[in-house]
Amino acid sequence: MGKELYSVSEFAARTSLSNKTIYRKVLRGDIPSVRVGTQVRIPAWYLQDLTSRPGELPVWMRREVNS
């Protein structure tokens, strides 16, 4: 069984974005997440979905790149 949830730090490292950006996107609802106690976790399927479409960024990522 593989990893099912990533911490914000793990997700940020894998996407080359800052923790602050990931938290902001989670709060806006751009990134799906679950709370485990007081910690935010991001489903592995979401990272897999992002990386399965090379060259196609989600809308929220395009805004970050173009800002």
| CATH level 2 (architecture), domain 5-53 | Orthogonal Bundle (1.10)
Q: Is 6:41 a contact under the CB 8 Å cutoff?
A: yes
Where are the domains positioned within the chain? 5-53
Q: Return all residues near 12 (Cβ < 8 A) that are at least 6 apart.
A: 18, 19, 21, 22
Dump pLDDT digits (tens) for 6-58: 999 999 999 889 999 999 999 999 999 999 999 999 999 998 888 787 676 66
Q: Return all residues near 18 (Cβ < 8 A) that are at least 6 apart.
A: 12
Question: How far is residue 42's CA from residue 22's CA, in Å, rounded to a whole number?
Answer: 10
Global pTM value: 0.76
